[in-house]
Structure 1
Amino acid sequence: MRLAFYAPLKAPDHPTPSGDRAMARGLIAALEYGGATVTLASPLRSRDGSGDAGLQTQLLDQAQGEITRLCGVGRAEGWQAWITYHNYYKAPDLIGPSVARHLGIPYLLIEASRARKRLTGPWAQFARAAEAASDAANVIFYFTHRDAETLERDRAGTQQLIHLPPFLMRDSVDTATAPDGPMLAVGMLREGDKLASYRIIAETLAQLPDIDWSLRIAGDGAARARVEALMPPFGPAVQFLGQLDADELTDVYRTSSLLFWPGVNEAFGLAYLEGQAAGLPVVAQDRPGVRDVLAPGDYPDPEEGTPPLAARLQKLLSDPALRHRLGRKAQAHVAAHHLLPAASATLFSGLAKCGVVR
């Protein structure tokens, strides 16, 4: 099976790490795990973060050149389907629908956002393109049940909607170890939602009683100084590890007692899957998207504020047996639902619905 793959927001070979890049790489791995030959179709990044009509026109012109080129490439390579990851009004797929139509092959989307309120205003051109791409898709895979709501509302014709649970780019989890060591938070140090999560962390830590605790923070970014400014009351109990590569982060997971991340406006959060795969219990708030990747458990509503988070931390820090039990439960949850074998099977079931079979 020969497939074209495209990620208009951030290509899997982009130099800057992010969850979006990691998921693009994971999707290619899941398709290759099932035996497909995957071609990264285009390097064109269509993102317009500021609503610049001139930039949108420029990118639309560049996309026309790519369409012409890729129709020839697709015919020569015998592509059987086109798969695009992450289509939305700030980074629409300007290429895939036209190429798929010219080649007469199915067009599939993974993570598509509907935003018809953007059809007027500074992103109008791109919003129309994003909606047209979503309308053109034979199949749309969605990661979270929150995503499914608008996709169902605006479903086009006989379009198939398929739940693809977020997953890690691996086919097994490590042998569970006893979760001991410092607490761990994993998140970029950025303004906005990430900073909001760090504020919740600082407020929660301030409510912990006089028990022995420490927290390591893995991540870096432009808001590091602002995050550091939240933590002086805790002195050396909070350690900043900076940006870690995959191997370094794996070692940190293995030597931590729990993962603490509130998850403000997370799409879902790969760190939750990584931490649970390492056997860590998670302290988080019950938020849309986040709840799609967490093992069943006790996660407080954000409206309850930080006291329930502090109580949960205190309970886990003082009860190693509970940490170990919940860590094993979390690891089993990831093994069953959020690894390459399950993701690959789901992706190929969607291809089969379009008549593309191995």
Structure 2
Amino acid sequence: MLDNNSFVINTFQFLNLVTNVMMDVFREIKVQTLAFVFTGLRVMGSVPQLLRPGGRVETALRETPPSCLSDPLLGRHQYIKINGNKYHYVESGSRRHQMLLCLHDFSDFWYGWRKQLRAFSGSFWVVAPDLKGFGDSEKPFLASQYSDETITQELCKFIELLLDDPKRKVVLIGHGLGGHIAWKLAERYPHLFNKFIVISTPHPNIWLKNVIKTWRNVYENRWLYECRLPLLPERNLVGNDIEIIDKRFKKSGSVIDLSSFSNFDKEAYKYTFSRPLDWRGPVNYFRNLPLSNTGALLGQQEKNIIDLDTLFLVGNIDPQVNLEMVSQSAEYVSRFIVKIIDMAGHSPHQEKPEIVNQIMNQFITGDIAYMSKWSNRMKFLK
């Protein structure tokens, strides 16, 4: 009787496993199908522009970096090798001070933290690396080199190599893609940090769940599916003389005019992202998104509560983040504060640097003992 029961249980478990595998295969086929469909729509949409005289702008050859990238007031350029991969970073301030580790967004690089590198250099040791695949850091070809586990392990080693004392704690700051990586760093290596600042970045599970919440969300985020295909996304990103950078520096619709940028800043970005090779690493991060992973998509993964004082900064006209995503992210930390930056879009630390720097400095240096009673809740600072 026991043998029969065991046989039935084992058979049921086997069938359940097979069903789950088949469902995962089906979902991955669905993702790949959407990738081809969305890419096809993009190609068809670009045909009229290609046929129109002067409709497509050739990408300019940029051989010399603009002088702002070597401005000594922003910091010192350094390199370090981790697991055979070269990491470039810029540091400002004394190494005797506490480290502020700043992780940048997609279509960004260390230069996105120029306002913080200069503002905090007197009191902190500010470290702004080019993430793997960006800027002057190594750009491996395989998407597997950009997995969450690989990236977080390498950044953990990056921190340990730079710090001379394992007891020293780091303030972790992340924006966009760098914010997603920062969430995972804080979850896996909380012993390295004592404070956590996320800018315009909900928890990765919340963000991913929102991406596939409805068919409208899927369509609005269709570029994430296009990244599943090889080579084409990188070539599209350099199209029309890197049009994606032009859009970033232009006032349109719900995006604020980034008046804190200069023409030199724009050329710094265009120089850094002027080749398809410069986009290979950034796109590979999105190629690894678990769009077909049921647990991640439905938010069924076990929550690892981060026991760090956490500050969430978000612009009030950010088209990519809403307060529902922010409030849901609060469930992943034990102490959580939100500051909404008025008239700021997706990059408040660049659009409103004076205001953001003041808030971050208060959060890092101020008395926040009151946060203990705000466990799993939000307090909006005035």
Do both proteins adopt the same fold according to a TM-score greater than 0.5, normalized to the shorter chain?
Answer: no
